[in-house]
Amino acid sequence: MTTSPDPQDRCRLYLITPPRLDDVDAFARTLAEALDGGDVACLQLRLKDVDDDAIRRAAEVLVPLAQARDVAVLMNDRPDLALATGCDGVHVGQDDAPYAEARRLLGENRIVGVTCHDSRDLAMAAGEAGADYVAFGAFYPTSTKDAPIRADVDLLRWWAEAMVVPVVAIGGITPDNARPLIETGADFLAVSAGVWAWPDGPGAAVARLNALMDTHSPEREPA
Ligand SMILES: Cc1ncc(COP(=O)(O)OP(=O)(O)O)c(N)n1
Ligand SMILES: Cc1nc(C(=O)O)sc1CCOP(=O)(O)O
Ligand SMILES: [Mg+2]
């Protein structure tokens, strides 16, 4: 009998919300459809150019929905709002709150991830400081964010093979281009438009990404 690999042992999906949500309840239905498509490790609440009240309102609906399905929720940019809204952690970039401040606010039991663009040095510094994961990108062109820096698969493979700290790949990833990233041994693929704007719908995108991750994740060394 052949079975799918345990998702914990292979590359997993890290969903990122669209940058604006005009109708949170409608998006909650879309999110539920996405989560019905297959395994999702976490959801990042990434709302841009909106006030704190809008983020809090979105979190009130989306955080319990995701957590009820064992999907961890990370707040983008804002450790204070992560704490206030019951998120499981925060993702900070190089221009956001520094890692140490995020960790101080969130404590040791919540997740703190750090953007490292295409930089080994930034990633080593974040890993040594205690980040729960480092994120490299952008791997492909994206219209979700102005992301001029390109990361490549050699960097991702090097980190995944040599380092213990988990690595996330981000930027323009879709079911059509994810395979080479999965083959590097990356721990997570972070995807926004590649799920929400997938022509067959978000559930189908999540299902296809999971099928690729089942098939193309390299064998992991036993811990
Ligand atoms: C998983 C993940 N990786 C990278 C980013 C980008 O963070 P940042 O550079 O701070 O840019 P914004 O997302 O804040 O526009 C991310 N959000 N998530
Ligand atoms: C939020 C973000 N950060 C990036 C980076 O390179 O650090 S690329 C990016 C956009 C991710 O959305 P999509 O999957 O639609 O491209
Ligand atoms: Mg940021």
- Give the domain CATH number at 61: 3.20.20.70
Closest of 80, 82, 12, 98 to residue 45, by C-alpha = 82
* Residue ranges around ligand 1 (CB below 6 Å): 44, 46, 76-77, 91, 93, 96, 113, 115, 135, 137, 145, 168, 170, 190
Query: ipTM above 0.85?
Result: yes
Q: CA of 33: how far to CAs of 36, 191, 194, 204, 214, in Å?
A: 5, 15, 15, 9, 20
Residue entry with tokens 């990108």? 137
Residue 135 domain flag: yes
Domain extent for 137: 7-215
pLDDT digit string, tens, across residues 133-189: 999 999 999 999 999 999 999 999 999 999 999 999 999 999 999 999 999 999 999
Q: Rounded to whole angstroms, how far apart are CA atoms 63 and 223?
A: 31
Provide, rounded to the nearest whole percent, the portion of the chain with pLDDT above 90.
Answer: 94
* Residue 151 structure tokens: 């990361």
Residue 28 domain flag: yes
Q: What pLDDT band is residue 8 in, cutting at 50, 70 and 90?
A: confident
User: How many angstroms is it from 176 CA to the middle of ligand 1?
Assistant: 22
Q: Rounded to whole angstroms, how far apart are CA atoms 4 and 201?
A: 23
User: How many angstroms is it from 53 CA to the middle of ligand 3?
Assistant: 18
Total number of domains in the chain: 1
Most informative mutation of 40, 50, 91 for ligand 1 (most atoms within 8 A of CB): 91
User: How many angstroms is it from 2 CA to the middle of ligand 2?
Assistant: 35
> In this structure, are residues 85 and 56 in contact, taking their beta carbons and an 8 Å threshold?
yes
Residue 53 domain flag: yes
Model confidence at 9: pLDDT above 70: yes
Closest of 4, 26, 29, 31 to residue 15, by C-alpha = 31
